[in-house]
């Protein structure tokens, strides 16, 4: 079984971003970039499926600028076998990325496509579902458990009410939630090995995909700042403040 | 403008989350219809017809829509929604699963989690865990939007008298089947709708200690939430997680107990009206957003707090 894992280069989760001074966008100059945490979980799951003997090949793919090769190398160091970069310097929206990935699915014919449920920059939570629509595949989003058996995958999903389990026919798109697994740290030998693994570069134009944006970013602003309040001395004062000042309990 | 709101429901009754999208639709302006797709969903459809401001309730009642599977619902939404200018749903896990699939079928770039309507094609939405608010303009002919529930008041559930119309369409792709679900049963209010939320973090130490929060919650009529750290540690189930990728809450009172306050957690609760933090580490970032901070050991503070309520 072949697994395609789609990943994204994003601002590191520890960075608190700020708008640019002219408020036209987010200031990303000299900011630490990383593999999106949810994508890292998706790569780890693919590697575990290979270690269990379920998968035979793992192909990591990303759509982004040339520096995204760093994140593909991270995926290769965790255990992906080869990688594909669809290179573009433009802002790529989820629908455009999904169209690129659909073209990769057509040429690679994976049995399972794993990806993160959302990227922590745009917080869109769309690309997996859109790829599933374009490819006509089944989907299981927000996965916390995956079991593959006989042309199907049984996936447990984290939903608002608790957990839901679906059986999806393969090929399918499964998007990873936080508790699917805990990604390993890549070992130094594996990081060295990853540098020699195959990494192919192509463009959206090579794939015949129109990636022109549909949504224009008009500007960004900081959210309303919360004033830090006061420290209370003890529980009695806290209860008094909540009853008589904030009037939120009676 | 004509707006289709996708109703969230359990067949017998309408989920109140739907009412927030109706208000967002009113902010856009125009005719508002509701789509209720389910299996034996007449009960939900009748409730939907009473929502103030709704013109028409479209009911797609078919076994294929029983478990709100995206594979079946997305083509239904794409088909029914084709005649509308906007398609909205409140950003629950159900809508987040279905709406992007429907949008892609229509070749539309959806806009997720809008927190304000600027005009019919321009919206605000939080990005980067809510550290930045973006204003975005959609050029697609049909706007497909998910709505941040906490950013819009609920429309009145009563007072409307919409007509109910059946939709014959039955989209069954057969790609996916429902196996089962584990739904948390609780007498406490739902997290996203509660007026008071009390949440525990890693500092709670284990799942048994959450009993202290449950008994306080029962005195206050509150819901109980948790930080990602507490869920990852297995103290409590995933449906209690508040944060960037969990539930977004904005109650009148949010009490954070033993929660340090990572930006990913703040993203889920910082729009609460009043925030209380109880933490023994006075440097914890949670205090920077708290109206009332209590630096104390939660194991002595919580029993005292309960006894004084």
Q: How many C-beta neighbours within 10 Å does residue B34 have?
A: 30
Tell me which residue in B92, B126, B292 faces A238 most closely, judged by beta carbons: B292
Tell me which residue in A137, A160, A239 faces B239 most closely, judged by beta carbons: A160
Is 90 exceeded by the pLDDT of residue B245?
no
**d(CA A182, nearest CA chain B) in Å:** 10
Q: What is the pLDDT of residue B65?
A: 96
Asked if B179 lies within 8 A of A231 by C-beta distance, the reply is no
- pTM reported for the whole predicted model: 0.95
Q: Are A235 and B305 spatial neighbours (Cβ–Cβ below 8 Å)?
A: yes
**Set of chain B residues whose Cβ sits within 8 Å of the Cβ of A217:** 134-136
Asked if B179 lies within 8 A of A166 by C-beta distance, the reply is yes
ipTM of the complex as predicted? 0.96
**d(CA A193, nearest CA chain B) in Å:** 32
Mention every residue, 6+ apart, whose C-beta is less than 8 A from residue A48: A181
The three-point CA angle B6-B7-B11 to 5° equals 135
Give me the mean pLDDT over the B245-266 stretch: 95
pLDDT digits (tens, 9 = 90+) for A91-103: 899 999 999 999 9
Q: How far is CA A171 from CA A102, A144, A156, B39, B237, in A?
A: 12, 19, 17, 27, 30
3-state SS record for chain B: CEEEEECCECCCCECCHHHHHHHHHHHHCCEEEEEEEECCCHHHHHHHHCCCCCCEEEEEECHHHCCCCHHHHHHHHHHHHCCCCEEEEECCHHHHHHHHHHHHHCCCCCEEEECEEEECCEEEEEEHHHCEEEEEEECCCCEEEEECHHHCCCCCCCCCCCEEEECCCCCCCCCEEEEEEEECCCCCCCHHHCCEEEEECHHHCCCCCHHHHHHHHHHHCCEEEECHHHHHCCCCCHHHEECCCCECCCCCEEEEECCCCCHHHHHHHCCCCEEEEEECCCCCHHHHCCCEEEECCHHHHHHHHHHCC
% of residues, chain B, pLDDT over 90? 96
CA distance B128 to B267: 9
Q: Which of B67, B109, B122, B271 to mutate to test the interface with A (most CBs of A within 10 A)?
A: B109
pLDDT digits (tens, 9 = 90+) for A1-58: 999 999 999 999 999 899 999 999 999 999 999 999 999 999 999 999 999 999 999 9
Q: What is the pLDDT of residue A226?
A: 85
A 182-211 near B (Cβ less than 8 A): none
- Tell which residue, B83, B85, B61, B91, has the closest CA to residue B73: B61
**d(CA B174, nearest CA chain A) in Å:** 9
Asked if A132 lies within 8 A of B101 by C-beta distance, the reply is yes
Query: Measured between CB atoms, does A40 come within 8 Å of chain B?
Result: no
Tell me which residue in B97, B128, B196 faces A121 most closely, judged by beta carbons: B128
Structure tokens at B161: 């008298």
Give me the mean pLDDT over the B149-168 stretch: 96
CA distance B296 to B24: 41
Residue given tokens 């008009």 in the structure block: A218
Is 90 exceeded by the pLDDT of residue B11?
yes
pLDDT digits (tens, 9 = 90+) for B170-210: 889 999 999 999 988 888 999 998 999 999 999 999 999 99
pLDDT digits (tens, 9 = 90+) for A186-239: 999 999 999 999 999 999 999 999 999 999 999 999 998 888 899 999 999 999
Q: Which of B71, B102, B287 to mutate to test the interface with A (most CBs of A within 10 A)?
A: B71
**Set of chain A residues whose Cβ sits within 8 Å of the Cβ of B136:** 215-218
Structure tokens at A24: 């036209």
Q: What is the pLDDT of residue A228?
A: 82
Query: Measured between CB atoms, does A147 come within 8 Å of chain B?
Result: no
Residue given tokens 């693994």 in the structure block: A197
Asked if B100 lies within 8 A of A117 by C-beta distance, the reply is no
Q: Are A5 and A114 spatial neighbours (Cβ–Cβ below 8 Å)?
A: yes
Report CA Rg, chain B: 20
Q: Which of B123, B132, B144, B284 to mutate to test the interface with A (most CBs of A within 10 A)?
A: B132
**Set of chain A residues whose Cβ sits within 8 Å of the Cβ of B264:** 13
- Taking one residue from A and the other from B, the number of pairs with CB-CB distance under 8 angstroms is 258
pLDDT digits (tens, 9 = 90+) for B78-105: 999 999 999 999 999 999 999 999 999 9
- Tell which residue, B254, B249, B222, B223, has the closest CA to residue B236: B223
């Amino acid at each position: 079984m072949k697994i395609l894992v789609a990943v994204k280069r994003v601002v590191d989760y520890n960075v608190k971003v700020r708008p640019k001074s002219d408020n036209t966008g987010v200031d990303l100059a000299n900011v630490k970039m990383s593999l999106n945490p949810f994508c890292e979980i998706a790569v780890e799951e693919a590697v575990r499926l290979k270690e269990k003997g379920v998968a035979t090949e793992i192909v990591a793919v990303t759509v982004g600028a040339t520096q995204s090769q760093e994140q593909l190398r991270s995926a290769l160091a965790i255990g992906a076998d080869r990688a594909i970069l669809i290179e573009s310097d433009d802002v790529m929206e989820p629908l455009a990325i999904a169209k690129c990935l659909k073209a990769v699915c057509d040429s690679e014919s994976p049995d399972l496509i794993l990806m993160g449920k959302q990227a922590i920059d745009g917080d869109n939570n769309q690309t997996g579902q859109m790829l599933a629509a374009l490819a006509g595949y089944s989907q299981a989003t927000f996965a916390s458990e995956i079991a593959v058996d006989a042309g199907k995958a049984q996936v447990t999903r984290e939903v608002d009410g608790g957990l839901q389990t679906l059986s999806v026919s393969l090929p399918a798109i499964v998007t990873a939630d936080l508790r699917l697994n805990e990604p390993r740290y890549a070992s130094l030998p594996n990081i060295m090995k990853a540098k020699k693994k195959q990494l192919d570069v192509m463009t959206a134009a090579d794939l015949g995909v129109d990636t022109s944006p549909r949504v224009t970013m008009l500007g960004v602003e900081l959210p309303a700042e919360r004033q830090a309040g006061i420290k209370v001395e003890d529980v009695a004062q806290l209860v008094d403040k909540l009853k008589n000042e904030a009037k939120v309990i009676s | 403008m004509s707006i289709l709101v996708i109703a969230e429901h359990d067949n017998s009754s309408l989920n109140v989350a739907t009412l927030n999208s109706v208000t967002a639709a009113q902010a856009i302006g125009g005719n508002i219809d509701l789509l209720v797709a389910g299996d034996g969903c007449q009960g939900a459809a009748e409730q939907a017809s009473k929502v103030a401001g709704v013109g028409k309730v479209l009911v797609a009642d078919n076994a294929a829509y029983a478990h709100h599977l995206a594979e079946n619902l997305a083509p239904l939404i794409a088909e029914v929604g084709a005649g509308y200018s906007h398609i909205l749903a409140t950003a629950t896990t159900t809508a987040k699963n279905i709406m992007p699939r429907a949008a892609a079928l229509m070749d539309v770039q959806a806009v997720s989690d809008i927190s304000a309507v600027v005009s019919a094609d321009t919206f605000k939405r939080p990005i980067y865990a809510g550290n930045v608010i973006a204003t975005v303009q959609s050029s697609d002919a049909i706007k497909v939007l998910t709505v941040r529930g906490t950013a819009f008041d609920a429309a009145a559930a009563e007072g409307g008298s919409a007509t109910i119309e059946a939709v014959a369409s039955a989209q069954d792709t057969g790609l996916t089947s429902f196996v089962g679900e584990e739904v948390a049963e609780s007498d406490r209010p739902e997290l996203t709708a509660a007026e008071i939320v009390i949440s525990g973090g890693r500092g709670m130490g284990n799942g048994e200690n959450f009993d202290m929060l449950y008994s306080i919650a029962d005195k206050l009529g509150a819901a109980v939430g948790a930080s990602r750290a507490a869920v990852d540690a297995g103290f409590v189930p995933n449906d209690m997680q508040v944060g960037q990728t969990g539930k977004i809450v904005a109650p009148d009172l949010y009490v954070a107990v033993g929660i340090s306050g990572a930006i990913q957690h703040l993203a889920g609760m910082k729009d609460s009206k009043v925030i209380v933090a109880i933490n023994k580490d006075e440097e914890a970032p949670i205090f920077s957003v708290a109206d009332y901070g209590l630096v104390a050991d939660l194991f002595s503070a919580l029993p005292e707090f309960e006894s004084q309520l």
